[in-house]
Amino acid sequence: MTGAASRYRVLRRLGQGGMAEVFEAERVGELGFVRKVALKQLRPDALRDPMAAQRFIDETRIASQLHHAHIVAVLDVGVLDDRPFQVLELVDGLDADELVRRAGGALPPELALMLAHAVAHALDHAHTATGGDGRSLGIVHRDVKPPNILIAWSGDVKLADFGIAVAHDRVAHTETGLVAGTRGFIAPEQRTRGQLDGRSDVFALGVTLHALCTGRSPLSDLEAEVRLLGGEPIALDPALPDDVRALIARAVAPDRRARPTAAGFAAAIGDVLAARGARDARSTLQAFLATLRRPPRAAGALDLLLGVELVPVDAPGPVQLYATEVPRAPPEPPAPRPPAPPAVVPPAPHRRSRPLVIAGAGVALAVAAAVAILRPTDDATHAAPIAAAPRDSASAAPAAPAPGSAALASTTPRDAGGAELTDTGIPDAVAASVPVAAAPHPGAPRHHPTATPAPGASPAAAVDPAARGYIQVVGEDLLRARVLVDGVAVGYVPNRFAVTLGHHRVEVERPDGVRLPPRELDVTSFHTAQRPARPTW
Taking a C-beta distance cutoff of 8 angstroms, is the pair 164, 147 a contact? no
Within 65-178, where are the H helices? 96-102, 109-128
**What's the half-sphere exposure (Cβ side, CA atoms, 13 Å) at 49?**
17
Contacts with 192 (C-beta within 8 Å, 6 or more apart), sequence order? 229
Residue type, 200: S
C-alpha span between 490 and 467 (Å, rounded): 18
Helices (H), 8-155: 52-64, 96-102, 109-128
Helix 109-128 with 281-290: angle, nearest 10 deg: 130
> What values do phi and psi take at 457, rounded to 5?
-80, 150
Q: How many Cβ atoms sit within 10 Å of the Cβ of residue 361?
A: 13
CA–CA distance, 98 with 295 (Å, rounded to integer): 15
CB contact burial 156-176 (16+ within 10 A = b; e otherwise):
bbbbbbbbbbbbeebebebee
Q: State residue 158 phi and psi, 5-degree precision.
A: -135, 135
Q: Is 143 a catalytic residue?
A: yes
Residues 254 and 232 sit within 8 Å (Cβ to Cβ): yes
Of 164, 182, 189, residue with least CA distance to 174 = 164
Identity at 250, one-letter amino acid code: R
| DSSP characters over 325-348 | E---PPPPPPPPPPPPPPP-PPPP
Nearest to 300 by CA among 119, 194, 430: 430
From first CA to last CA, the distance across the chain in angstroms is 35
Query: Could you give the CA distance from residue 213 to residue 209 in angstroms, rounded to a whole number?
Result: 6
User: Of these residues, 76, 97, 143, 201, which one is catalytic?
Assistant: 143
Nearest to 418 by CA among 19, 15, 14: 19
Torsion of CA 89, 94, 95, 99, to 10 degrees: -160
**388: Cα separation from own chain's centroid:** 27
**What residues are labeled active site?**
143
